[in-house]
Amino acid sequence: MKKLAKFSAFMVAAMFAATSFTSCGEEDEVDPLNVDEVIDVANFKIKANANGTITFIGDVSSNAKIKTFELQDATGKKVYDFTEQNDQVKEKLKNIAEDGKVTKEKVFSMTNIQSSEIPVDFYTLVIKTKKAKTDAALGEEFKYTIGASKCLTVGSYLSIVDNKQYMLADAKSNKTEVIAESSSDGYTVVGLKAASKANSADVASKAGKVALFQGGAATDLVKEGGVVITESGCIVKINKFNNTSDGNASIDAVLIKSVSGLTVDVSGYTFSK
């Protein structure tokens, strides 16, 4: 399934290269202390919390005072400001001169910086000094396809991890995590439930473990706005079910998973079938 064009997958290596410019004539003497402002980031982690929220964790260092350090939503609105809401970052910045000389030494260096618990969504981490900026997407906007119970062309059993939907016959021999919950007429998808609750013993026995949340509370059925966390390390927010008259539905979602530069940690949650 294609990702939406608006946002690509998390690309920390490419997007975390701070842009800076220097110039000097052939006879200019280069001042060893006149160096570019640099922002370095590492060990990014998204931790899934037991209430369906997430926590951002990471290491950040810079050879200049950090002016902006925040998480923004898809509209660019600030959701969490580390310079104002994180006590450790605030204290560190107090001790850095506002117009200190920039050298190769990292004046700001902190590991295991954590945000507060925030709702699952698409976020961009934005960090700026006076002359450098770095940003990266945390997750991606994603589409899944699933069928209502009366749909003849698309299965109601979905593997979130592999992005594959199955009819019942194939679901019995393949691992799935969720099943479409249909309206009474069987042509509209209204939610998702755990595949471990399937009427088929074969489907249930192969099901991957999941945790479902709606409005911050554990639930047996996720609807629009709900969150699915898989034991295998996927965090999904269901934004919208786009139903058609034949029972074929697409799901607009936000997907956060482990990729190069970002680890999803679900170890803090106990999964059960």
Q: What is the pLDDT of residues 81-118, one digit of tens each?
A: 999 999 999 999 999 988 777 888 899 999 999 999 99
Percent of the chain surpassing pLDDT 70: 87
pTM confidence score = 0.86
Angle at 237 between CA 236 and CA 240, to 5 degrees: 125
User: Is 70 exceeded by the pLDDT of residue 57?
Assistant: yes
Nearest to 228 by CA among 261, 205, 194: 194
What the block records as the tokens of 148 is: 């209502």
Angle at 233 between CA 46 and CA 189, to 5 degrees: 110
